[in-house]
Amino acid sequence: MIGFFGLTFEGVFIILGLTVVLFVVVNLASLLRFILRKKGKIVRTEGVKPSKKVKKPILSHFSKGVIKLKGIMPKPIKVVLKGLYSIRLIFFDLILIAFSIFLFNDLFVRAPGVNFHNPDMNSYWNDQNAAFVIQFDRVYDEEKIIPQIYPEIAGEWKHEHLMFPFLKRKLAFYPEESILPGNNITIYIGEIKGLYQTDPTWDKVIDLKSPGIPEIVSTYPENEGCDFGVNEKIEIKLSSQDGNFMDWDFDIEPAADFQVVRNNSDRVFIEFIKPLAQSTTYKLTTKKTPQSYSIETGDVLIQEETMEEEDLSFTTIKAPTISNIEPVGDGVLVDSAIKIKFDFDMVREDVESNISIEPSVEYTISWEDGATIILKPVLPLEKEKDYTVKLPSGLKNLKGGVSEIEVAHSFRTVGVVRVASTSPSANATGRDVNVNISITFNQQVDKASAQSKFSITPAVGGAFSWNGNTMVFNPTASLAYTTPYTVNIAKGVKTVHGIDSNSDYSFKFTTKSQIFELNTIIVTQPYRYSCNLTASRIALNYKGVNVSVDTLYSQIVKDTTPYDEATNTWGNPNSGYVGSITGNPKGYGVYWGPIRNLISSYRPAETHTGWNRTALLQEVQNNNPVIIWAHNAYAGSGADISWNLPGGGRVYAVKGMHSFVVRGYIGELENPTNIILVDPAGRGRWVISTSYFDSLWNVFGRAAVVVK
């Protein structure tokens, strides 16, 4: 029916009424005319020729056309038309009656349909303070219709009209209490029929949902978030709309006064009465309880079990601090701007009105961004002068943080040219002979001028290079070993922005001693009296022969004469290995002759006694490791323990007889400062003074075996 020319129910009802009125008016008019004619009030003029005084009516073009048509129309048709004309009122009445019956049937006899209902099917009835409304497209029989709601709650069903009080086609339920959230709602409308409907009634079932139980989907600040403003509010975003059907309980530690702001949306806000403390970690505990309530009073009727949400932890913004300030140090150019960068966007007016420079300087202010202020001096600063930029405590950033300390930053403008640092540093020792010499000035200088003021003693040739304010002298040849050098920068180095240097500068450094060293292996002797054989293994390994101590022991010539304590008689170490290698029952070792013979089966070898240290080191420099015999330098060593030979004669021996491998030296070949040894007894790489080496080596007459 709504589709009837696009009219509403009320519009169609008005058309029905106008149709009935038109029917009555037309028939009354026809009846009145009939009565007047009977009484002679109306006289027919058909066929009477009008007098000349009567003015002929002016016929329209249409009327003239009809007359002409009648003139040529066949007589049967004229008879039919005349008959229709005579019953024209009856014909018109029949049309009006039929149309009225059609409209009446459509309005009051046909079964009502549903235009809409609010809330819609399967939607949420979030605003339970508002009524549930269902609107039909026709008038329904309010005496027959049966509305119901499940779950059952207190409320009132009302029949309402849209225009005419006696035509009800809107049904509304006004709840007196809310339904607990998270429930399904069923609205059943039974026995739906029109006022004069003869067809069977029909039912309507509408499924709705009470508001969902909101879940927290996000928060501001995020959990474990930082830099939360002390004047900001916590925003909690929910998965569904909030309302009086939920009771929220919040607790915050450390304690802070707050109020909860709710507006029946998907947001809950916590606004703090006073600013929070800076640099403080807070924990917000959230509990929620589903409930039903009285629509009229808001009183809680039923509460379900309380649910806890995950705790929210956040840290408030720290007090504003300066993350960077320029310029710094000495040598600041006089036209430099002062740039101060805070860690957060600041309240600009607050900073601008409280910043100061001492001594006083006129400057302009600009902001690079919300956190960076730039002070540009109107006139150049004075040279070689100290300036201090001051910022008091109490400065505010845009998140409500307040600075807690006063800042005083000092810098010095460019002045006299000075040497800021050198490499090598003053009085450095042990520097490499291939070192480059660097002099860093405190400011930009004229390069040619600085180079002309450079000198080094002893004299060394070289070339200059630059890296910023650092002048680098690159010697063309290596410096001498163990030599002190003096570098001087004469006064008069010209500046680019400051003041020329007015005093000399010099510093000294000493090069390292020369080191020559073979890359021999470093191993520890496996048996107590195997030092001579272990030293042989080390020397052979350097020459490419990999043989074990056990193998060497099996190959060495041995003097098996047992030790006779009564006569102090034993074997001869100049002939072969004497005693047990493990020291059980008694051990000693072997001298250079048998060792030379053993090594000669693998590599060429030479024996020397009463040898010259320079000649020894020359062999080492020639890539030949040297085995020496000495005492081991441990406490108690060096005592004479010589014994008799069975055939007569005597063997020279000392307690702690030991073999080392000479690996290298430090200093000049002819006059080294140190000797580098390999000690199989556990010292490993052992560096000793030359004099100490000589004292140990002298014990056995400076005996040695060279492995080639």
Quickly tell me which residue has 């292996």 as its tokens. 521
- The SS3 call for residue 258 is strand
Please give the radius of gyration of the chain, using alpha carbons only, rounded to the nearest integer: 60
At the topology level of CATH, where does 216-316 sit?
A: Immunoglobulin-like (2.60.40)
CATH of domain 419-512: 2.60.40.3710
| Amino acid 56: pLDDT | 46
| Amino acid 20: pLDDT | 79
Question: How far lies 416's CA from each of 385, 497, 615, in Å?
Answer: 11, 10, 57
Q: Where are the alpha helices (DSSP H) in 333-378?
A: 348-352
- Between 20-29, 172-181, 601-610, the lowest mean confidence (pLDDT) is in 20-29
DSSP lists the bridge partners of residue 681 as: none
Residue type, 381: L
- Between 38-47, 178-187, 479-488, the lowest mean confidence (pLDDT) is in 38-47
At the topology level of CATH, where does 517-707 sit?
A: Cathepsin B; Chain A (3.90.70)
Distance CA 208, CA 189 (A): 14
pLDDT over 90 at 256, yes or no:
yes
| Amino acid 689: pLDDT | 96
User: Can you give 575-586 as a three-state secondary structure string?
Assistant: CCEEECCCCCCC
- Between 112-121, 347-356, 509-518, 635-644, the lowest mean confidence (pLDDT) is in 635-644
Domain boundaries, the chain: 1-35+65-109, 114-209, 216-316, 322-412, 419-512, 517-707
pLDDT over 70 at 115, yes or no:
yes
The answer to whether 679 and 692 are in contact (CB under 8 A) is: no
Helix (H) or strand (E) holding 174: strand 168-175
Q: Where are the alpha helices (DSSP H) in 603-699?
A: 613-621, 690-697
DSSP assignment of 34-50: HHHHHTTSS---TTPPP
CATH class label, 322-412: mainly beta
Same fold, 216-316 and 517-707: no
Lookup: tokens for 293: 């309530």
| Amino acid 681: pLDDT | 94
- Does this model's pTM top 0.85? My answer is no
Helix (H) or strand (E) holding 411: strand 407-412
Phi, psi dihedrals of residue 121, rounded to the nearest 5°: -60, 135
Sign of CA dihedral 455, 461, 466, 472: negative
Distance CA 494, CA 487 (A): 19
pLDDT over 50 at 445, yes or no:
yes
The answer to whether 616 and 675 are in contact (CB under 8 A) is: no
| Amino acid 110: pLDDT | 85
| Amino acid 59: pLDDT | 43
Q: pLDDT of 520-536, one tens digit each?
A: 999 999 999 999 999 99
| Amino acid 643: pLDDT | 97
The answer to whether 295 and 177 are in contact (CB under 8 A) is: yes
Average the pLDDT over 281-306 and give the result: 94
- Between 30-44, 575-589, 636-650, the lowest mean confidence (pLDDT) is in 30-44
The answer to whether 468 and 451 are in contact (CB under 8 A) is: no
Burial 406-418, CB ≥16 within 10 A → b, else e: ebebebbbbbbbb
Distance CA 456, CA 473 (A): 10
Spatial neighbors of 3 by CB under 8 A, at least 6 apart, are: none
For the segment(s) 114-209, the CATH number from 3.40.50.2020, 2.60.40.3710, 3.40.50.2300, 3.90.1150.10 is 2.60.40.3710
Lookup: tokens for 366: 């600009």
The gap from C-alpha 418 to its chain's centroid, in whole angstroms, comes to 45
| Amino acid 82: pLDDT | 61
Query: What value does the mean pLDDT of the chain take?
Result: 90
Distance CA 471, CA 474 (A): 10
Percent of the chain predicted with pLDDT > 70: 92
- Between 330-334, 475-479, 592-596, the lowest mean confidence (pLDDT) is in 330-334
| Amino acid 101: pLDDT | 85
Q: pLDDT of 545-573, one tens digit each?
A: 999 999 999 999 999 999 999 999 999 99
- Between 78-92, 400-414, 559-573, the lowest mean confidence (pLDDT) is in 78-92
Spatial neighbors of 535 by CB under 8 A, at least 6 apart, are: 627, 659, 660, 661, 678, 680
Q: pLDDT of 25-84, one tens digit each?
A: 777 877 777 777 777 665 554 444 444 444 444 444 444 555 555 566 676 666 666 655
Q: pLDDT of 329-375, one tens digit each?
A: 888 999 999 999 999 999 999 999 999 999 999 999 999 999 999 99
In terms of average pLDDT, the best of 154-163, 235-244, 589-598 is 589-598
Distance CA 212, CA 241 (A): 8
| Amino acid 53: pLDDT | 46
Quickly tell me which residue has 């000493």 as its tokens. 510
Lookup: tokens for 621: 């420099």
| Amino acid 5: pLDDT | 53
Average the pLDDT over 179-186 and give the result: 94
Q: For residue 103, what pLDDT band results from cuts at 50, 70 and 90?
A: confident
Lookup: tokens for 153: 């709650």
pLDDT over 90 at 583, yes or no:
yes
Question: How far lies 303's CA from each of 213, 243, 288, in Å?
Answer: 13, 14, 10
The answer to whether 705 and 626 are in contact (CB under 8 A) is: yes
